Structure 1
């Protein structure tokens, strides 16, 4: 009975329910263990023929944390058109390219090309580390930032002249929002 308690409690925690220590039927137990192993390995569990639900992956979570932490460490750096390093300063896509490279992800150099990578994310589904795009000085994705949660993102603010927080609810950004992508 003891060998069943931890997997059942873990399943309850992972699936947001309450865990009850009870013996699972033998045929379903093997399937349960396979599902649990897949969850812990960061696999995608099939739900229906066309729909898949991504499950928690510790590797992705740590890379996401690294992206957000790296971006936060660059707050206050100088904004320079064409800049792509802490030494020279950053423009928006240079900041994103640099931060993601720290997490082992190579992205193109410009916002419009970066927008072509990753999965589209609805505004209500934004998670820290997602890239948010805006149409600012030209049509399409011409400005990019890194979403940090709570409606905030880190970007290059030419108005302030530094890498700074932006607010998704700011009228300027609301009127220019172009889309969001999840790269990790």
Structure 2
């Protein structure tokens, strides 16, 4: 046991970590005793800050975000807009083969490092709930559709009272207004996965 502890205490940190500490004046390097000129060492590459993952109410970890949330939201919307015109395909989740509604949402967020559940029902519980009057671009909009046998439908809020979704068989990914009576009256939930 004593041998193991002494091995841990004699461990030297990697050169890159020492260089970062020296660069931040946490350690002051001492001059070498030799008077001979030594070749200059290349500067260590800066290490990006690592932020701890935060846990969402549904138990999933929010992604490590190194850009502002507003920038990330706009990027999500831009990615969704980039596939407008892609055909609907039941079970589809790629711009090559097509998308169903929840597949589009999963694919867009996946390209930004956010892992979402696959089904519409599960997406209804992803992230945190927000009121409809406080939507931000990139929020997931869930609709309750149908009559006697209701079903759920998801899309991505794009800002300006519009959303992007893959509507139904025979349709294509498109951006539509939430102002119309059909969609506005059927909003079931708004879920935020980018804080």
Same fold (TM over 0.5): yes
Residue number among 185, 190, 195 corresponding to 1:175 in the alignment: 185
1:9-48 equivalences in 2 (<5 Å): none
Higher helix share: 1
Answering whether residue 116 of structure 2 is matched by residue 107 of structure 1, we say: yes
Q: How does 1:55-70 map to 2 (within 5 A)?
A: 58-70=67-79
Within 1, Cα distance between the matches of 2:115 and 2:190? 18
Bigger proportion of residues as strand: 1
Cα distance, 1:66 vs. partner? 1.7
Say what the alpha-carbon RMSD is for the aligned residues. 1.9
Aligned residues: 128
Q: Aligned runs of 1:121-160 on 2, under 5 Å?
A: 121-137=130-146, 138-139=149-150, 142-158=152-168
Query: How far 1:159 sits from its partner (Å)?
Result: 7.2
Match of 2:101 in 1: 92
Q: Whose RCO is larger (CA < 8 A, sep 6+)?
A: 2
Q: Matched residues in 2 for 1:68 and 1:160: separation? A: 23
Deviation at 1:160, TM superposition (A): 6.4
The structure number with the bigger radius of gyration is 2
Q: Is the Cα contact below 8 Å between 2:88 and 2:171 reproduced in 1?
A: yes
Unaligned runs of 5+ in 2: 1-50, 52-65
